[in-house]
């Protein structure tokens, strides 16, 4: 059964529904259809993924996510050319660094708002770091960040 296969892969239905841009109940319905071999009732993209999962016994969660990103996500659905470039660079990074701390942080940041304040701070900090003329207050913010960064680097 497909549901058991997903569980073995540690791939949550909610997660998979988000990746496929379908609701959780719809995904459950598609899984039921798949297990009953009612393939004509399943969205074409979802069916491709289900077939990939069942035909590749050694595929794991990382492989499934890569399959979705490389085969099922429509980049052309994004509005602007700049958005396409950003999405492609993020996808490329995820594929080449799936276990990195940065990817772990991305996943946590997407699933929770726990780090939103830090993200806003870092975004503001980045704009200051590329700025030429800084006020004393702006320089102070950058200095605090540099101290934290140095502390982290000295402990690694």
The CA distance from 85 to 41, in Å, is 34
pTM: 0.49
Rg (the chain; Cα; Å): 21
Q: What pLDDT, in 10s, does the model give residues 12-43?
A: 898 888 888 889 999 999 999 999 999 999 98
Confidence band for 66, pLDDT divided at 50, 70 and 90: confident
Q: What does the pLDDT look like over 96-128, one tens digit per residue? A: 888 888 888 888 888 888 888 888 888 888 888
Containing 121, the helix (H) or strand (E) segment is helix 116-129
Q: For residue 88, what are its two tokens? A: 């492609």
Q: Dihedrals φ, ψ of 111, to 5°?
A: -85, -20
For the chain, give the longest Cα–Cα distance: 67
């Amino acid at each position: 059964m497909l549901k058991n296969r997903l569980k073995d892969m540690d791939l949550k239905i909610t997660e998979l529904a988000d990746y496929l841009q379908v609701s959780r109940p719809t995904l459950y319905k598609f899984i039921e259809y798949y297990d009953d071999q009612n393939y004509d009732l399943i969205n074409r993209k979802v069916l491709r993924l289900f077939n990939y999962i069942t035909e590749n016994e050694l595929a794991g969660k990382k492989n499934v996510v890569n399959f979705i990103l490389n085969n099922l996500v429509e980049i052309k659905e994004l509005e602007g050319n700049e958005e396409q470039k950003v999405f492609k660079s993020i996808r490329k990074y995820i594929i080449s660094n799936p276990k990195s701390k940065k990817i772990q942080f991305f996943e946590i940041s997407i699933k929770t708002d726990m780090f939103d304040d830090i993200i806003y701070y870092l975004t503001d900090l980045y704009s200051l770091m590329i700025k030429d003329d800084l006020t004393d207050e702006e320089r102070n913010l950058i200095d605090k960040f540099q101290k934290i960064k140095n502390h982290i680097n000295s402990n690694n």
